[in-house]
């Protein structure tokens, strides 16, 4: 059923960045999976009515950077108290060979459940481990899990032609691919799943893991040209810590953002995750070219990398979106926690006027739609896709709030989703995903975690797929 009326909306947020256009009240009508009208509306005969009394109604949120496979790599002891680079060695690049299809599918299911149950309706997963050591196709699993949840899903098909070399011989070599193989992998995925429509249910993005580390300089222009010729957007990690800046300065004599501008890797069809270490000139260059940011406040804080200047990029007219990042570096990979982290961390480091609550939600909705190039989602307005979250605010943490509309942003996560919809199709009702047995998922997660620990203790067994290493 994609036709209904949401009534008694007292706390409505459109996704706009402040001002009168950011709030609405009354009712919202959905017809054929799109928002037909908003305001003072009365039910039609036999129309399904959803009561939003005691709830906040907002756009379904858009998570623009994730690593779903890490959802079974939370709180790995060797990575709990380390910064980014040793964390990479001890967590994703130590554990990836031990994931079989069951573990991978369970990880994706856990991650999608965390997101759906926090009001997310669109997910971009940046998956970067492709190896014929795996006896399954990660892409098949990811798209299948997303379809089961009924969520919009964007695959940033990652990988690289070069991998980092670690001093510890027990760490498996990072899987790499020749450039032609990598590009063929992206285009093959796009031929199956990429839909360019502004309200697409599935999309594919060219997702080089980290351009400055994982590709040779001469390969990046070809990569960008191939993406644009195929109508694909580009997404990658960039400037997550000082190591990115130091490496690029040492090898190319420029900071990362201007150097990538020379490789045709900036533009309104590009967005980067993190961007913690960017200076004022880089902020201006990103804003001027329309290059977007996936702001990952929790993971950057958890790894001690810092707080990205998302507020400065936003103030410069740039495009900012919000993301939870992989759960291996952020054990609360839900959007409610990300909203609160963004709201608090910028204020903690820059003062109480650094960031408004409405701006944070704008990043998680309209900002996400802009970086994904999906203009029909991310905002509550007539004609837009009916991707909607109805967030219950009856818990004690919301009691006594004079402005209850911003409660889900400022009150510390733990969102309870009364209803959420994708194109008018209900995916969450009363804090539950239809067809998802959380008790069974929890049991599987415990068993898989124990199995992974056992396998990892057994050590890494070399395999032909991992022999290539730059």
What is the per-residue pLDDT across 195-205, written as a single tens digit (0 to 9) for each? 999 999 999 99
* Mean pLDDT along residues 223-227: 98
The number of distinct structural domains making up the chain is: 2
For residue 409, the enclosing domain spans: 4-59+379-433
Tell me: the pLDDT tens digits for 47-91? Answer: 999 999 999 999 999 999 999 999 999 999 999 999 999 999 999
Find out whether 113 and 431 touch, Cβ atoms under 8 Å. Answer: no
Using the predicted structure, report yes or no on whether residue 172 has a pLDDT greater than 90.
no
Other Cβ atoms closer than 10 A to 31: 15
* Mean pLDDT along residues 102-127: 98
* Mean pLDDT along residues 118-127: 98
Using the predicted structure, report yes or no on whether residue 468 has a pLDDT greater than 80.
no
* Mean pLDDT along residues 247-256: 97
Residue 416: CATH number of its domain: 2.30.40.10
Whole-angstrom CA distances from 141 to 127, 217, 455 are 11, 32, 22
Query: Is the same domain home to 76 and 220?
Result: yes
In a domain, residue 455? The reply is: no
Query: Is the same domain home to 70 and 209?
Result: yes
Query: Is the same domain home to 28 and 148?
Result: no
Contacts of residue 8, defined as CB under 8 A and 6 or more positions apart, other chains included, come to 27, 51, 52, 53
Query: Is the same domain home to 305 and 319?
Result: yes
Query: Is the same domain home to 282 and 364?
Result: yes
Q: How confident is the model at residue 164 (pLDDT cuts 50, 70, 90)?
A: confident
In a domain, residue 322? The reply is: yes
pLDDT at 133: 87
In a domain, residue 446? The reply is: no
pLDDT at 469: 31
pLDDT at 96: 95
Of 397, 409, 398, residue with least CA distance to 362: 409
* Mean pLDDT along residues 315-329: 98
In a domain, residue 400? The reply is: yes
Query: Is the same domain home to 412 and 316?
Result: no
Range list of β-strands (E), 207-347: 234-238, 270-274, 292-295, 319-322
Tell me: the pLDDT tens digits for 407-418? Answer: 999 999 799 999
Query: Is the same domain home to 306 and 231?
Result: yes
Domain boundary among 372, 397, 418: 372
DSSP letter string, 119-152: TEEEEEEEE----TTSSS-HHHHHHHHHHHHT-E
In a domain, residue 453? The reply is: no
Other Cβ atoms closer than 10 A to 466: 20
- Percent of the chain predicted with pLDDT > 70: 98
Query: Is the same domain home to 45 and 121?
Result: no
Query: Is the same domain home to 53 and 197?
Result: no
Using the predicted structure, report yes or no on whether residue 470 has a pLDDT greater than 80.
no
In a domain, residue 445? The reply is: no
* Mean pLDDT along residues 423-439: 96
Query: Is the same domain home to 384 and 290?
Result: no
Query: Is the same domain home to 260 and 142?
Result: yes
Residue 232: CATH number of its domain: 3.20.20.140
Per mean pLDDT, which range of 18-22, 118-122, 458-462 is the poorest?
458-462
Range list of β-strands (E), 338-433: 388-392, 416-422, 425-429, 432-433
**What is the b/e burial string over 71-90, where b = at least 16 CB atoms within 10 angstroms of the residue's CB?**
bbbbebeebeebebeebbbb
**What is the b/e burial string over 378-404, where b = at least 16 CB atoms within 10 angstroms of the residue's CB?**
bbbeeebbbbbbbbbbeeeebeeeeeb
* Mean pLDDT along residues 388-405: 97
Q: How confident is the model at residue 462 (pLDDT cuts 50, 70, 90)?
A: low
Find out whether 47 and 83 touch, Cβ atoms under 8 Å. Answer: no
In a domain, residue 278? The reply is: yes
Query: Is the same domain home to 16 and 115?
Result: no
In a domain, residue 243? The reply is: yes
- Angle separating helix axes 138-149 and 179-193, nearest 10 degrees: 30
Domain boundary among 355, 372, 389: 372
Using the predicted structure, report yes or no on whether residue 167 has a pLDDT greater than 50.
yes
Mean pLDDT of the chain: 95
């Amino acid at each position: 059923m994609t036709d209904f009326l949401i009534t008694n909306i007292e706390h409505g947020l459109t996704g706009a960045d402040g001002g009168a256009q950011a709030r609405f009240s009354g009712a919202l009508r959905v017809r054929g999976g799109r928002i037909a009208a908003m305001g003072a509306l009365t039910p039609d005969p036999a129309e399904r009515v959803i009561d939003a009394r005691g709830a906040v109604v907002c756009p379904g949120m858009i998570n623009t950077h994730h690593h779903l496979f890490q959802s079974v790599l939370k709180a790995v002891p060797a990575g709990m108290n380390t910064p980014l680079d040793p964390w990479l060695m001890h967590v994703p690049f130590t554990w990836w060979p031990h994931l079989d299809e069951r573990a991978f599918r369970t990880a994706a299911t856990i991650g999608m459940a965390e997101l759906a149950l926090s009001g997310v309706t669109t997910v971009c997963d940046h998956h970067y481990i492709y190896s014929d050591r795996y006896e399954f196709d990660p892409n098949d699993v990811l798209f299948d899990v997303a379809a089961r949840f009924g969520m919009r899903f964007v695959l940033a098909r990652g990988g690289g032609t070069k991998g980092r070399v670690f001093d510890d011989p027990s760490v498996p070599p990072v899987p790499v691919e020749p450039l032609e193989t990598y590009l063929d992998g992206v285009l093959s995925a796009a031929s199956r799943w990429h839909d360019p429509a502004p309200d697409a249910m599935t999309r594919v993005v060219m997702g080089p893991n980290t351009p400055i580390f994982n590709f040779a300089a001469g390969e990046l222009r070809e990569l960008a040209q191939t993406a644009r010729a195929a109508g694909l957007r580009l997404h990658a990690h960039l400037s997550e810590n000082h190591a990115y800046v130091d490496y690029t300065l040492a090898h190319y004599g420029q900071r990362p953002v201007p150097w990538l501008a020379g490789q045709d890797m900036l533009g309104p069809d590009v967005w980067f995750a993190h961007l913690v270490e960017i200076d004022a000139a880089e902020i201006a260059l990103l804003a001027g070219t329309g290059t977007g940011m996936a702001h990952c406040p929790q993971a950057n804080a958890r790894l001690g990398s810092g707080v990205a200047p998302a507020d400065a990029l936003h103030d410069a007219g740039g495009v900012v979106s919000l993301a939870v990042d992989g759960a291996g570096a952020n054990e609360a990979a839900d959007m409610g926690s990300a909203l609160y982290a963004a709201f608090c961390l910028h204020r903690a480091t820059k003062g109480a006027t650094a960031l408004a609550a409405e701006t944070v939600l704008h990043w998680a909705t309209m900002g996400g739609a802009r970086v994904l190039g999906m203009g029909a989602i991310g905002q509550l307005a007539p004609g837009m896709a009916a991707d909607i979250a109805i967030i219950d605010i009856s818990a004690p943490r919301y009691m006594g709030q004079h402005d209850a509309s911003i409660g889900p942003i400022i009150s510390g996560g733990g969102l309870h989703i009364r209803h959420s919809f994708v194109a008018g199709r209900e995916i969450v009702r009363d804090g539950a995903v239809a067809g998802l047995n959380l008790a069974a998922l929890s049991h599987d997660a415990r068993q898989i975690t124990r199995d992974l620990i056992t396998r990892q203790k057994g050590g890494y067994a070399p395999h032909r797929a991992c022999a290539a290493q730059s």
